[in-house]
Amino acid sequence: MQTLWASSIRHLLRHPAQLALALVGLSVGVATIVAVDIATASSRHAFELSMDAVNGAATHQIVGGPEGVDEQLYVKLQTLHIPAIADPPAFAPVVEGYVTVGSRALQLVGLDPLATADINARTEAVPGAAGEAQTLAASLKVPEADVRLWFIRRGAVVMSARTAADLGLSPGQSFDVGVGGRTLTAVLIATLNDEGGGYDALLLTDIAQAQEWMDVPGRLSRIDVRVPDGPDSARILAAVRASLPPGVELQETESRSRENLDMTAAFTTNLKAMSLLALLVSTLLIYGAISFAVVQRRRSIGILRALGATPGQVLAIVLSEAFVLGVVGAATGVLLGLAIGRELVHLVSRTINDLYFVVAVNSTTLPAMTVVKAVLAGIGTAMVAALLPAFEAVSSTPQLGMRRSVLEKRAVDLSRKLVIVSASLALAAGAVVFSSTRSLFAGFIALFMLLLSVAALTPAVLRSLARMAAFALRGSPVARLAFGDIAASLSRTGVAVAALGMAIAAMIGVSIMVGSFRESLHDWLQRTMRADVYLTSPGAGGGRPERRLEPDLVPSLLGVKGIAHYSVSRRVVVETSKGPIPLEAAQLSDPSYATYVLTEGDPASTWSSFKHGGIVISESMAWRLQLKVGGRLRVSTSSGPRDFPVAGVYREYGNDRGDMLMDLRTYRDLWHDDALTSMGFYLDPGVPSATVISELESVSRGRQALLIRSNADIRELSMRIFDRTFVITRVLNWLAAGVAAVGLISSLLAWELERSRELAIVRSLGLTAGGTAVLIEMQTAFMGLAAMIAAVPAGLLTALVLTDVINRRAFGWRIDLHLNAAQFTNALVLSLTAALIAGLYPAWRAARAPIAVEIREE
């Protein structure tokens, strides 16, 4: 046994480059998993902390329609007497909104600290309030007396010390706050020393201040409720519910935060799938590395077996090697992942900020589970990869084990069998797609099956291509040698090319998907953004609701010269039986109807139903809520709950939560809300947009800062956000390709090392050093090409699965497939570059090695 160990260690030490490459591959694979986990967990953690900070000890929330809740309801609840209960509930009013400070969006939270204190610590049962007050006095770096400024100082705000530092503010300083297009003056009266980071995206102010800034006199965004646990809670809830007017609901805090978090679920699933892809590629890599290690020692293993080593001993050695490799690879992978994760966090949180909610990620979280998962994945991958070569080494009889030809024959047999495996995987992938209709998970399973199917097919493709090439170029001995060699050494070349093929297929698939999505979005923007000029009162960006236009400004805006006709709309978020949904209540001008691409429902009947109280919903909403034309959706209106018929489904890429469109008259009747948030202007022929824009700007100047943009500007801005969103996808894609390239290098190196003798013989027969290098580069380039050829059809299939299955199931979007040459040439360039780079070192080595030494080794 000792001899076996010694042989194993000596072998590994003698091939450090190969060992290092296998480790790099494994590390990068593990690192990708860790990095993605860190990025998503950190964003999620930041969001949860923020929700915690906002919600405090509230168990429930009372929420209303777009205009929030009447503050008189709070007064009523504060004096609500529920007979014969042991512990009364506590209520706290909240006015929320989004503001900007400099370029940063913050969530404005208007509180009544007196009530919030009450909700958190009304009775002795929650001790320590006084102590915490002192903690605060210490953590608010101000004398206690300053705290009264919260009430009496106009513009008084509090933010976390970190946010203040980021913005360059210190207590006592005044600064500008952008609220719905107006610039107001705030004073930082204190900062919070909050270690956790839950306050980093918040700007706290008094409820009076928030009402004035958000211009919502008499309204609250919500009322936080703390219902004590215990036998009375059901009665308390019933009593509270009974006091609510129509259109106002009591909901559990937890479920509301979860709803918010669910918004990002599809997004994070996509990220995780990408990180799995990297690991999958690295599995093949490790398989390659270990099987080479085994294969190279076939002779010594054969001798050892002949000397009496049992199959179990050999198996133990090979698996132990894999285990050690796995441990080391996983450990370095976790460290590497930490480093990559820190960078990835910024990309992920920026996307979340663009698309979902304001989150400030200032600390990275490394979940313990991630480390466990990564270490297990690393070790498991290495073991699984080693299992096949280990069994192979063991199962051959001692004498046969020494012979290469046996192995190659087996590899050829295996590649034939793998074609069948590949076909079955592809069929199974199809079956999974068609048998599951909504499951995103099943979609990903199918995707991975498809990629594995590519991997399984590649060796056979490589072999046939190589044989065909050798036959076609039979006139040139060097070419024949080069390609014949590839076909004959399938056990070496096959796996590396399979890994590369899989990475390229994924890359083609992803780039087709992103490209198609981009095209679809572009087309959609072209069609939708028909009005020449758009005007809106800015919210904080993303899917967050805009503020209303100043009512007395509206007629002056509409009166600007050069406007032929216009559409106006009110954007709000309404509560439905299936959670909050953005609603656009629009009064459409005639050409505006055509800007909606209906994917369900015919235009005539859809728009006629729309004018009579029907809603038109976006594709993603239809998908998510499983609604069809003719279905109904219950929405809480200010006049109580109403069922709205679905008149049509339209294409909408603006919001993956879904959107619904309603006639402005219907909305006004039911919500008693006359406000408007945006306008679209169709100009008289020949009137330039710029003229109207500057006219609109001068009308609104000094009254309300509005976002006024030409349609071209909006399209450009949308595309920019889109590109930003997909930066992460591209980054992960390149990581996977990087892993594959490393794999190819490591396989080639092993292969070239192994046949150094053959090469030396060829050289002794007259092939020059340069010729040898060319030979090797030809071979590697050919393998890159073969990987590419195997990957193209698979990449197309992958793209189909990504657009039609994954994207549809994740977001409900339907995307038209758009192909362009660049998607393929990029992949070709990648695979050739990777292959050529991989060949450089072996070529250099082979050309340089003294022939005599190589031959004498025999």
Partner 1 sequence: MARAGVSIRSLALGALVAVGAVVAVDAVVAIGAFGVAHAAAVPDAALDALRPDAPRQNESATPPAWATLRSPPMAAQFRRFLTEFAIAAAPREFEFPRDHGPHPDFRQEWWYLTGNLTATDGERFGFELTIFRVALAPAVAMPPAVATPPATATDAASQRVGATATGAVSPAERGAATPAASPWRTRQVYVGHFAVTDVAKHTFRFAQKYERDALGLAGAVADPFRVWLDDWQIGGSPHWTVHAQQKDYELQLDVQSLAAPILNGDRGLSVKASDPGAASYYYSIPRVSVRGQLIRDRVPIDVSGVAWLDREWGSGSLGANESGWDWFALQLDDGSALMFYALRDKDGARDLHSAGTWVDRDGQTRSLSSKEVEITVGDHWDSPRGGRYPSRWHVRVPALALEADVRPVLANQELGTSPRYWEGAVDVTASRSGVSVTGRGYVELVGYAH
Q: Which of residues 424-453 bind partner 1 (CB under 8 A)?
A: none
Nearer to partner 1 by Cβ, of 216 and 278: the residue is 216
Q: CA–CA separation, 502 vs 852, rounded Å?
A: 40
554 makes contact with partner 1 (CB under 8 A): no
183 makes contact with partner 1 (CB under 8 A): no
Tokens of 208: 């009076």
The burial class, CB within 10 Å (0-12 / 13-18 / 19+), for 35 is buried
Query: Given the DSSP bridges, would you call strands 640-650 and 615-618 parallel, antiparallel or unpaired?
Result: parallel
Task: Sketch the per residue contact string, 835 through 854, with partner 1: x for CB under 8 A, - otherwise.
Answer: --------------------
Please identify, among the stretches 137-145, 639-647, 753-761, 842-850, the one whose residues bind partner 1 according to the rule CB under 8 A: 137-145
Q: Which of residues 762-801 bind partner 1 (CB under 8 A)?
A: none
Please identify, among the stretches 185-193, 287-295, 373-381, 810-818, the one whose residues bind partner 1 according to the rule CB under 8 A: 185-193
Q: CA–CA separation, 598 vs 622, rounded Å?
A: 12
Q: Which of residues 613-672 bind partner 1 (CB under 8 A)?
A: none
- Residue 365 Cβ vs partner 1, minimum distance, rounded to whole Å: 13
Q: CA–CA separation, 781 vs 462, rounded Å?
A: 12
Q: CA–CA separation, 502 vs 795, rounded Å?
A: 9
Residue 774 Cα to chain centre, angstroms: 43
The CA distances from residue 688 to 85, 667, 712, in Å, are 69, 33, 13
Please identify, among the stretches 128-136, 313-321, 458-466, 648-656, the one whose residues bind partner 1 according to the rule CB under 8 A: 128-136
- Residue 138 Cβ vs partner 1, minimum distance, rounded to whole Å: 9
- Residue 254 Cβ vs partner 1, minimum distance, rounded to whole Å: 12
- Residue 186 Cβ vs partner 1, minimum distance, rounded to whole Å: 12
Q: Which of residues 374-413 bind partner 1 (CB under 8 A)?
A: none
Question: Which residue, 157, 189, 186, 183, is CA-closest to 170?
Answer: 189
Per CB under 8 A, the list member of 112, 224, 575, 752 interacting with partner 1 is: 112
324 makes contact with partner 1 (CB under 8 A): no
| Residues paired with 186 in a beta bridge | 175
- Residue 425 Cβ vs partner 1, minimum distance, rounded to whole Å: 46
312 makes contact with partner 1 (CB under 8 A): no
546 makes contact with partner 1 (CB under 8 A): no
Residue with tokens 């082979």: 846
Residue 602: strand, helix, or coil? coil
125 makes contact with partner 1 (CB under 8 A): yes
Q: 769-800 and 756-764 are packed helices; what angle lies between their axes, rounded to 10 degrees?
A: 130
Is residue 718 within a helix (H) or strand (E), and if so which, with residue range? helix 711-725
Task: Sketch the per residue contact string, 41 through 80, with partner 1: x for CB under 8 A, - otherwise.
Answer: --------x--xx--xx-------------xx-xx--xxx
140 makes contact with partner 1 (CB under 8 A): yes
Per CB under 8 A, the list member of 13, 152, 368, 821 interacting with partner 1 is: 152
- Residue 64 Cβ vs partner 1, minimum distance, rounded to whole Å: 17
343 makes contact with partner 1 (CB under 8 A): no
Contact 104, 164 (CB under 8 A): no
Query: Given the DSSP bridges, would you call strands 660-663 and 579-587 parallel, antiparallel or unpaired?
Result: parallel
Q: Which of residues 197-256 bind partner 1 (CB under 8 A)?
A: 198-199, 204, 206-209, 211-212, 215, 217-218, 228
- Residue 142 Cβ vs partner 1, minimum distance, rounded to whole Å: 8
194 makes contact with partner 1 (CB under 8 A): yes
Nearer to partner 1 by Cβ, of 174 and 694: the residue is 174
Per CB under 8 A, the list member of 47, 150, 448, 782 interacting with partner 1 is: 150
In 473-541, which residue ranges form alpha helices assigned H by DSSP? Answer: 477-488, 490-528
Please identify, among the stretches 111-119, 370-378, 414-422, 701-709, the one whose residues bind partner 1 according to the rule CB under 8 A: 111-119
- Residue 67 Cβ vs partner 1, minimum distance, rounded to whole Å: 16
- Residue 78 Cβ vs partner 1, minimum distance, rounded to whole Å: 5
Is residue 800 within a helix (H) or strand (E), and if so which, with residue range? helix 769-800
Per CB under 8 A, the list member of 128, 168, 308, 702 interacting with partner 1 is: 128
Q: CA–CA separation, 670 vs 642, rounded Å?
A: 9
The site that binds partner 1 (CB under 8 A) totals a number of residues, namely 79
364 makes contact with partner 1 (CB under 8 A): no
- Residue 167 Cβ vs partner 1, minimum distance, rounded to whole Å: 19
The burial class, CB within 10 Å (0-12 / 13-18 / 19+), for 338 is middle
Is residue 649 within a helix (H) or strand (E), and if so which, with residue range? strand 640-650
113 makes contact with partner 1 (CB under 8 A): yes
153 makes contact with partner 1 (CB under 8 A): yes
Contact 578, 625 (CB under 8 A): yes
- Residue 41 Cβ vs partner 1, minimum distance, rounded to whole Å: 16
Nearer to partner 1 by Cβ, of 152 and 604: the residue is 152
3-state secondary structure 816-845: CCCCCHHHHHHHHHHHHHHHHHHHHHHHHH
111 makes contact with partner 1 (CB under 8 A): yes
- Residue 208 Cβ vs partner 1, minimum distance, rounded to whole Å: 4
Q: CA–CA separation, 841 vs 849, rounded Å?
A: 12
Contact 618, 227 (CB under 8 A): no
- Residue 504 Cβ vs partner 1, minimum distance, rounded to whole Å: 46
365 makes contact with partner 1 (CB under 8 A): no
DSSP, res 363: S
DSSP assignment string, 205-269: EEHHHHHHHHT-TTEESEEEEEPPSSTTHHHHHHHHHHTPPTT-EEEEHHHHHHHHHHTTHHHHH
132 makes contact with partner 1 (CB under 8 A): yes
3-state secondary structure 187-202: EEEEEECCCCCCCCCE
Q: CA–CA separation, 652 vs 473, rounded Å?
A: 54
- Residue 550 Cβ vs partner 1, minimum distance, rounded to whole Å: 12
Please identify, among the stretches 85-93, 489-497, 589-597, 783-791, the one whose residues bind partner 1 according to the rule CB under 8 A: 85-93
- Residue 668 Cβ vs partner 1, minimum distance, rounded to whole Å: 21
